[in-house]
Structure 1
């Protein structure tokens, strides 16, 4: 009895310590987000003076009004949404097209293709050769330059392939073959409906990558009408171009200095809000897909 009591007390102690650590870690990661939100809607003078710690002080939406008054931000938002939607669709189709055949043991040439695909994960042509190839293909400053060069990620292909191998029973494929179903019929009517978790993971991975992408736009795009949101944010934050977003007045320099800080925080919220809104809906599938695809393989 004493041993059992000690064991129960040890379990409770472990739970208390574990919950306490999780609460501390949650607060550590949650505080910067709360601070950024509060700073973006606070009085710029109080933000500059360091008076904002957690809750907003001197409620003001001037930063958001200034940001959305800039036409470049709206153009970047529109372009990024288009790149993200179209690019994610293309990436998902390409990933499925590569992962499903590689997951089938009866696929002829499976091993050589796997080795070839793996080679591309570790070696690439480099930036300059890639730029020359894209130029020869006529993709420079073109819509598809943001999508086609990164049309598939081999890491995601292997992740989806592992999911197909470990989570779709071989008996289902055999039953479909006996019933006269072809490979494409099996894929679209059996495999994909059972692969919602890994599909959700792929959508989240690709969508976040496109949403945060700015390097390809920086290298391959010169037309500002095709710039991404992140590229415009980079101009504002790194190159200090907030002056073009503020109407000159009597206290122009002071207003610029004060509002610049709030604009930076507002831009962070605007840039990350769509991803933050997407993740809760995909969280259940995200955890399930990553765990099944990564552990059982």
Structure 2
């Protein structure tokens, strides 16, 4: 058996420095997350007095009670879930329908269509023309205003095209056509089952985008019953909207001030939790899809 190759002194120094840098980077990234979680489960007095550093101090769920006592928080959750689920289904369907023909070399005019897609990534009509268009289509103050205007992301189309080109060979289509399979059946029966990684990737991209949707809702929606969660959290967080409805058991100014600070951390957890729950289930496909989709033809 060959003896292990010994590291040189410079290699060992590089390894130590590399691990030290990575540990410091991990601490820099991880500490704010730990602090937010700890602060959200601490008492208002501990948060305002700066006693919270790493672990929760005077464990309390007052911040979460205040957030979930807000009358609109549950409607905001329901609306955001609707926008995320329905919007992602629309996004993924349109992305696959656009990417599949553009990935086939035999599709005539695909370079022209590809140019038109990429053109929209460079040039945009602007906010006012976009609003006028959405208004003329009758979608302002409707759910469609958050689903249709951004129904297709060109970047996701590009990585999906690359995935199809590198994963689905043209010979497979030719073989299926010899057996009497048309393009729609080939897409449904063969392409989609083989495309789970890239579907997971673009689904996660679209779902996170819908869940964090804020600006479009702020522009297009006026009906509070249609507001997504992010707009509701804006009312609570940015406008510091702490009402007697939310605290109920304490109406003193001092209690309101402390609770206002506590709510800031609670709303971050409330807004991030659904995405954190979804990610572990698609992580395997996500990593594989991103790596394959990043390859050039």
User: 1:16 Cα shift?
Assistant: 4.4
Please give the root-mean-square deviation of Cα atoms over the aligned residues, in Å.
2.0
Distance in 1, matches of 2:275 and 2:171, equals 38
Structure 2 residue aligned with 1:40: 40
> Cα 1:21–1:254, aligned 2, differ >3 Å: closer, same or farther?
same
Distance in 1, matches of 2:250 and 2:294, equals 60
Alignment of 1:112 with 2:76, yes or no, is no
Structure 2 gaps, min length 5? none
User: 1:59 Cα shift?
Assistant: 0.6
Distance in 1, matches of 2:280 and 2:269, equals 17
Structure 2 residue aligned with 1:157: 157
Distance in 2, matches of 1:249 and 1:61, equals 14
> Cα 1:248–1:178, aligned 2, differ >3 Å: closer, same or farther?
closer
TM-score by length of 2: 0.93
When structure 1 is superposed on structure 2, of 59-68 and 5-14 the one drifting more is: 5-14
The answer to whether the 8 A contact 1:38-1:54 is kept is yes
Structure 2 residue aligned with 1:188: 188
Cα deviations across residues 81-136 of structure 1 (Å, max 9, x unaligned)? Answer: 00000000000000001000000001111111111111111112111111111111
Cα deviations across residues 170-189 of structure 1 (Å, max 9, x unaligned)? Answer: 22122212222111111111
Distance in 1, matches of 2:128 and 2:168, equals 42
Moved over 6 A (4+): none
Alignment of 1:24-103 (within 5 A): 24-103=24-103
Other structure's SS at 1:150 match: coil
Alignment of 1:1-297 (within 5 A): 5-7=5-7, 14-243=14-243, 245-247=245-247, 252-297=252-297
The answer to whether the 8 A contact 1:159-1:293 is kept is yes
User: 1:283 Cα shift?
Assistant: 1.3
> Cα 1:146–1:251, aligned 2, differ >3 Å: closer, same or farther?
closer
Distance in 1, matches of 2:62 and 2:75, equals 20
When structure 1 is superposed on structure 2, of 25-34 and 92-101 the one drifting more is: 25-34
TM-score by length of 1: 0.93
Distance in 1, matches of 2:18 and 2:169, equals 37
Other structure's SS at 2:149 match: helix
User: 1:279 Cα shift?
Assistant: 1.2
User: 1:282 Cα shift?
Assistant: 1.2
User: 1:22 Cα shift?
Assistant: 2.8
Distance in 2, matches of 1:45 and 1:265, equals 14
When structure 1 is superposed on structure 2, of 106-115 and 234-243 the one drifting more is: 234-243
When structure 1 is superposed on structure 2, of 244-253 and 105-114 the one drifting more is: 244-253
Cα deviations across residues 143-194 of structure 1 (Å, max 9, x unaligned)? Answer: 1111001110011101100110112222212221222211111111111111
Structure 1 gaps, min length 5? none
- Alignment length, in residue pairs? 295
User: 1:18 Cα shift?
Assistant: 3.5
More helix by share: 1
Distance in 2, matches of 1:75 and 1:6, equals 63
The answer to whether the 8 A contact 1:42-1:60 is kept is yes
When structure 1 is superposed on structure 2, of 276-285 and 195-204 the one drifting more is: 276-285
